[in-house]
């Protein structure tokens, strides 16, 4: 079993691609909606939250965790756990290697991710000089409560910096749900983590997708919009 972990609904944006690309793998999507959003929590709080989940994963014999949460990737020691942790930030940055070095790049992420600066530092080490970060403190929470596109658009128009960008990194897995709105406001092409490759996933096993999510009245409709592959609920 491969655990796909995120702070809530955001990691769903990558599941279609993962299940279609690796149909022989068994994925368990674990969306921690009870503690979402993560982006405005302290480092100490975030580490405590994940350590609680990590104990459960270790007890269940999990060997690999795809850490879809950019905020957690920013604050955790990824080598400190008894299973392999696969870092979404490094994989997302790899997509920037082929971009022109004079590109103007905007990094949009939670407050914690922007503050830790892994995206900005990684881009600068690649040779990009025009990099700007923007902390969208409320957006993940808005998406968790199923805010309308009109509400999200208004928020982005207020929060995103003025000017045009060549590329916009969506440094939170919630954000691709509204990728077209980022493009509309910034004029830039979006880069996100919705279609990444994992070399170790080539090994064969029985495939499938399970979801471990706190349910509410609006969740099923949201899942029908985001997922186009078969799934079942865990522990039912």
| Tens-place pLDDT, residues 190-200 | 999 998 888 77
Q: Which fold has domain 91-191?
A: Rossmann fold (3.40.50)
Residue 228 has a pLDDT of 86
| Domain limits, the chain | 2-88+195-233, 91-191
**Residue 145 CB-half CA count within 13 A:** 8
Per-residue confidence band for 222, with pLDDT thresholds at 50, 70 and 90: confident
Residue 203 has a pLDDT of 64
pLDDT tens-digit series, residues 65-93: 999 999 999 999 999 999 999 999 999 99
In angstroms, the CA 204 to CA 197 distance is: 16
DSSP symbols for 145-181: TT--HHHHHHHHHHHSPSS--SEEEE-STTGGGGHHH
Can 2-88+195-233 and 91-191 be said to share one CATH topology? Answer: yes
pLDDT tens-digit series, residues 25-64: 899 999 999 998 999 899 999 999 999 999 999 999 999 9
What average pLDDT does the chain have? 92
In angstroms, the CA 10 to CA 87 distance is: 15
Percent of the chain with pLDDT over 90: 69
Apex CA 115: angle with CA 113 and CA 119, to 5°?
Answer: 55
- 106 compared with 229, residue with greater pLDDT: 106
pLDDT of 158 strictly over 80: yes
pLDDT of 231 strictly over 90: no
Q: Which fold has domain 2-88+195-233?
A: Rossmann fold (3.40.50)
Looking at residues 88-100, what average pLDDT do you find? 94
In angstroms, the CA 3 to CA 28 distance is: 5
Question: Residue 79 is encoded by which pair of tokens?
Answer: 């080598």
Q: Whole-model pTM?
A: 0.87
The CA-atom distances, in angstroms, between 233 and each of 51, 146, 208 are 24, 21, 11
- 37 contacts 217 by C-beta, under 8 angstroms: no
Residue 118 has a pLDDT of 95
Beta strands in the chain (DSSP E): 2-6, 26-31, 64-67, 84-87, 104-109, 130-135, 167-170, 189-191, 208-213, 232-233
In angstroms, the CA 172 to CA 70 distance is: 6
Question: Residue 222 is encoded by which pair of tokens?
Answer: 């949201």
């Amino acid at each position: 079993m491969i655990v796909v972990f995120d702070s809530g609904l955001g990691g769903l944006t990558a599941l279609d691609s993962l299940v279609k690309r690796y149909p022989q793998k068994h994925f368990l999507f674990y969306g921690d909606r009870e503690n979402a959003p993560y982006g405005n929590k302290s480092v100490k709080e975030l580490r405590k939250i994940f350590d609680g989940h990590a104990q459960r994963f270790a007890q269940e014999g999990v060997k690999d965790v795809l850490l879809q949460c950019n905020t957690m990737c920013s604050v955790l020691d990824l080598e400190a756990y008894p299973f392999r942790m696969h870092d979404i930030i490094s994989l997302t940055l790899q997509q920037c290697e082929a971009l022109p070095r004079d590109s103007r790049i905007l990094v949009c992420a939670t407050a914690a991710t922007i503050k830790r600066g892994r995206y900005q530092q990684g881009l600068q080490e690649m040779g990009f000089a025009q990099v700007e970060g923007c902390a969208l403190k409320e957006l993940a929470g808005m998406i968790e409560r199923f805010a309308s596109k009109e509400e999200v658009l208004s928020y982005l128009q207020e929060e995103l910096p003025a000017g045009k960008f060549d590329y916009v990194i969506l440094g939170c897995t919630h954000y691709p749900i509204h990728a077209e709105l980022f493009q509309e406001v910034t004029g830039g092409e979006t880069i996100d983590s919705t279609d990444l490759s994992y070399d170790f996933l080539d090994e064969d096993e029985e495939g499938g997708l399970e979801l471990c999510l706190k349910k509410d009245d609006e969740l099923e409709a949201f899942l029908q919009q985001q997922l186009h592959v078969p799934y079942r609920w865990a522990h039912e």
